[in-house]
């Protein structure tokens, strides 16, 4: 049967069951091949006959070689003595966490052991000091609805644990939190700010965030949890959240003594990690990115989350009813085309209708039957109109369950607002993502999906929604990074970039560019940013792979600096193991030197794309920080309430519309200086939909 993971081909078409049956019957591969005449099944005989040499070669490849000429005994190969501390030092540096754990943990990591601390019901500003690690513990990760269960503070002189209710009733403590001159080191600044804001407290002076520092140092790591960050830096907190809180339905608060010790340990870790991570950021030339962008942004995002966005539930409910009618209508049409009623949401029943009753050609099979995935249905749409209706039925069904019903569930009853959570320490490109709910993923291709934005309205009467988004920001960043004169000139002259590309690639004048030429140029422009292949482009445009390859080649001939940039970026990534954005955000690419073609190719495309997409992400983040500063300076009532990748959404009183229509694009377009101008489209309306 071969082994695809080791590139052992085996005999095509022979699976595990057939292979086992043959080996049980004849004993060895060689005997199977000698006895082909005795095997039943014409197709199987042919396959074995045609792949005789390949089968023997596959066995040879899979057989462990036992004849290595070794002239010593195993004892002579024993590992021998080694310097444990040197090994530990190297393993820590390379972040081989699991190997460290296999060594003597007491030696391998510095455990935060018995800590002397005080449980207090009040603290003075003097005891809290000018610099301290403060650990604000929220029981539920959905911190917009969760209670603070306790706080721990660690500084050079003191360690305290204080109950949340005592802390929030202590004027000295609240004053210390508000005081910008008192520096606080935290874990997850945004969560800390939001959780305290919901309780009426203000957190200023956040000077360091362990989670954010860990994320910037290596965004590819799967976890930036305090325990994992500590372990990677040679600290063991000993207790884990799982032990303390339990998991899932068993989640419960521990006894106060256990909780107090747990929080103090975590605060101690924050206190010790601050200096180590600070040095790492400086060594990576990321201190400015950290101090001037990510740290202030976490506070801005915290205020945006707490502010929330108002949703008109009546509009949502009406949309839900309209979708129900459309779904019923589509169901009737599909049943009519099928000639019988069946459960459209059952892949098994749908497969029977499409491939048995209607006799459509099966595109691919699964273990349980015929595949009815979206890509299969799209291919079938040219064969029979039923497939097109099923695609639409599924799209509307998802709209209803994910957005109409999903959004309704997370509207806060007392404010009629949705408070999403922005993940600032998650994506490898530096882009923000949004969860509970995801407001960055509201569909825009379907008109029914776009209409969902009609439910997003200003939180005050007589206000408007204002939307501002960067025009073709990634292509502008590409022009700047690659330094391609033609692209730079096109953007400086405010030309339509897709028309300009068509002109250069097809060697025609502007008035000779056809709609098809522009469409092809647009696909290549956006595809190039993502390291598109000839296969990918051929699929997008419905052309042959050769035509797509020729198109890409002509593009690179027209814009040679783009090709140069891509080759240099991949080459440098192989050398250093990472790529960087203009503002020094890094992404590590361990697979860039992989012997596996697919892994290496993906890493190469990622190397080309990340500096572009990551720089675009940095630009809008910088714009958000500067926007918040400008709005505070001008004392406007307007609020920044949403970020959707290249777009910022505000709610604005009518009397500030003129000010904001001028201020927003001005700040966004000047966020960074590139060789090409940044362009922002801005508009407003009664709802988010109308603003777009």
Q: Are residues 598 and 645 located together in one domain of the fold?
A: no
Q: Are 198 and 129 within one domain?
A: yes
Instruction: Output the six-digit token pair for 608.
Output: 């080309």
- The CATH number of whichever domain residue 396 belongs to comes to 1.20.1060.10
- Within-domain flag for 31: yes
Same domain, 511 and 571: yes
Residue 72 lies in a domain: no
**Residue ranges making up the domain that contains 276:** 111-283
Mean pLDDT per 10-residue segment, the chain (692 residues): 85 89 94 91 89 92 88 84 79 75 55 80 92 90 85 95 95 96 97 94 97 96 88 73 56 82 93 94 96 98 96 95 95 96 93 91 77 86 90 93 93 92 95 93 87 96 97 96 95 95 93 93 89 84 89 92 95 96 96 92 94 97 98 97 96 97 98 97 97 88
3 state SS of 268: helix
Q: Are residues 319 and 245 in the same domain?
A: no
pTM of structure: 0.83
Residue 221 located in a structural domain: yes
Q: Tell me, yes or no, whether 609 and 626 share the same domain.
A: no
> d(Cα 149, Cα 165) in Å, to the nearest integer?
8
Burial class (CB in 10 A: 0-12, 13-18, 19+), 253: middle
Q: What is the DSSP letter of 445?
A: S
Residue 527, token pair as written in the block: 């595809």
Indicate whether 28 and 136 sit together in one domain: no
**591 and 666 share one domain:** no
Whole-angstrom Cα Rg for the chain: 31
Instruction: Report the pLDDT value the prediction gives residue 244, as an integer from 0 to 100.
Output: 58
Write down which residue in 568, 586, 613 finishes a domain.
Answer: 613
Query: What pLDDT was estimated at residue 107?
Result: 42
**Domain membership flag for residue 598:** yes
Instruction: Look at residues 583, 613, 643 and tell me which one is the last residue of a structural domain.
Output: 613
CA atoms of 99 and 108, how far apart (whole Å) = 10
Our measurement of the distance from residue 537's CA atom to the centroid of its chain's CA atoms, rounded to an integer in Å, reads 24
The answer to whether residues 466 and 490 belong to one domain is: no
Residue 84 inside a domain? The answer is no
- Give dist(CA 300, CA 298) in Å, integer: 5
Strands (E), 141-213: 148-154, 159-162, 183-186, 206-209
Residue 259's domain is classified under what CATH number? Answer: 3.30.420.10
Same domain, 144 and 256: yes
> Do 371 and 249 fall within a single domain?
no
The pLDDT of residue 104: 56
In a domain, 147, yes or no: yes
Domain boundary among 569, 590, 613: 613
What CATH number did the domain enclosing 626 receive?
Answer: 3.30.70.370
Count CB-CB contacts under 10 A for residue 647.
17
Number of structural domains the chain divides into:
5
* Position 90 in a domain: no
Quote the CA–CA distance of 286 and 294 in Å, as a whole number. 10
3 state DSSP class of 456: strand
Bridge partners of 3, per DSSP, are: 8
Tokens 């320490």 sit on residue: 425
**Which 8-state DSSP code applies to residue 339?**
T
Q: Does residue 81 sit within a domain?
A: no
The residue whose two tokens read 């035509």 is: 547
Q: Which two tokens stand for residue 668?
A: 């966004």
Query: How far apart (Å, rounded) are the C-alpha atoms in residues 60 and 49?
Result: 18
| 325 and 279 in a common domain | no
Nearest to 562 by CA among 524, 618, 589: 524
**CATH assignment at residue 14:** 1.10.150.20
Confidence at residue 105, expressed as pLDDT on a 0 to 100 scale: 45
Q: Are residues 127 and 196 in the same domain?
A: yes
Q: Tell me the CA end-to-end span of the chain in Å, nearest whole number.
A: 56
């Amino acid at each position: 049967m071969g082994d695809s993971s080791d590139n052992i081909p085996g005999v095509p078409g022979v699976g595990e069951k057939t292979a086992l049956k043959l080996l049980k019957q004849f004993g060895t591969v060689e005997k199977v091949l000698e006895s082909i005449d005795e095997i039943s099944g014409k197709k199987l005989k042919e396959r074995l006959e045609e792949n005789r040499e390949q089968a023997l070669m596959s066995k040879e490849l899979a057989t462990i070689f036992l004849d290595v000429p070794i002239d010593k005994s195993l004892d002579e190969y024993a590992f021998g003595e080694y310097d444990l501390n040197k090994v530990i030092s190297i393993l820590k540096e390379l972040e081989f966490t699991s190997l460290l754990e296999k060594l003597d943990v007491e030696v391998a990591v510095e455990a935060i052991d018995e800590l002397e601390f005080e449980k207090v019901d009040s603290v003075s500003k003097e005891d809290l000091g000018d610099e301290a690690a403060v650990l604000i513990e929220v029981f539920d990760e959905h911190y917009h609805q969760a209670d603070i269960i306790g706080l721990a503070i660690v500084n050079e002189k003191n360690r305290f644990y204080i109950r949340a209710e005592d802390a929030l009733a202590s004027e000295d403590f609240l004053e210390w939190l508000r005081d910008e001159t008192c520096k606080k080191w935290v874990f997850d600044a945004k969560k800390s700010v939001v959780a305290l804001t919901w309780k009426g407290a203000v957190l200023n002076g956040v000077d360091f965030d362990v989670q954010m520092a860990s994320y910037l140092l290596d965004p590819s790591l799967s976890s930036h949890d305090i325990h994992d960050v500590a372990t990677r830096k040679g600290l063991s907190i000993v207790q884990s959240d799982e032990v303390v809180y339990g998991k899932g339905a068993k989640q419960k608060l521990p006894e106060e003594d256990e909780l107090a010790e747990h929080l103090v340990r975590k605060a101690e870790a924050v206190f010790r990690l601050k200096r180590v991570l600070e040095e790492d950021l400086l060594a990576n030339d990321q201190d400015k990115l950290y101090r001037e962008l990510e740290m202030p942004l976490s506070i801005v995002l915290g205020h945006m989350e707490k502010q929330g966005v108002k949703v008109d539930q009546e509009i949502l409910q009406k949309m839900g009813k309209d979708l129900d009618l459309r779904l019923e209508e589509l169901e009737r049409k599909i049943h009519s085309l099928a000639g019988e009623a069946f459960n459209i949401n059952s892949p098994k029943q749908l497969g029977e209708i499409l491939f048995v009753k209607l006799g459509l050609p099966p595109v691919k099979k699964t273990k349980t039957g015929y595949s009815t995935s979206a890509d299969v249905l799209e291919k079938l749409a040219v064969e029979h109109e039923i497939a097109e209706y099923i695609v639409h039925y599924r799209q509307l069904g998802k709209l209803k369950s994910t957005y109409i019903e999903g959004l309704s569930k997370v509207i806060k009853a007392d404010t009629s607002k949705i408070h999403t959570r922005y993940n600032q320490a998650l994506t490898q490109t530096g882009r923000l993502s949004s969860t509970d709910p995801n407001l960055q993923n509201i569909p825009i291709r379907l008109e029914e999906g776009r209409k969902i934005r009609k439910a997003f309205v200003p939180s005050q009467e007589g206000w408007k929604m204002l939307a501002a988004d960067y025009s073709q920001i990634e292509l502008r960043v590409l022009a700047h990074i690659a330094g391609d004169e033609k692209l730079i000139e096109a953007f400086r002259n405010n030309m339509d970039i897709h028309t300009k590309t068509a002109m250069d690639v097809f060697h025609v004048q502007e008035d000779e560019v056809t709609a098809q030429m522009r469409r092809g140029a647009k696909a290549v422009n956006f595809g190039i940013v993502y390291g598109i292949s000839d296969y990918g482009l051929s699929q997008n445009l419905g052309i042959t792979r050769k035509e797509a390859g020729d198109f890409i080649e002509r593009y690179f001939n027209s814009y040679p600096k783009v090709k140069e940039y891509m080759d240099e970026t991949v080459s440098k990534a192989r050398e250093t193991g990472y790529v960087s954005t203009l503002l020094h955000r890094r992404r590590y690419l361990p697979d860039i030197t992989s012997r596996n073609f697919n892994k290496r190719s993906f890493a190469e495309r990622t190397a080309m794309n990340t500096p572009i997409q990551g720089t675009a992400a940095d630009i809008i983040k910088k714009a958000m920080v500067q926007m918040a500063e400008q709005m505070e300076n001008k004392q406007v009532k307007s609020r920044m309430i949403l970020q959707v990748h290249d777009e910022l959404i505000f709610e604005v009183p009518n009397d500030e519309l003129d000010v904001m229509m001028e201020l927003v694009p001005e700040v966004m377009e000047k966020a960074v200086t590139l060789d090409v101008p940044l362009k922002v489209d801005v508009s407003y309306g009664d709802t988010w939909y109308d603003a777009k």
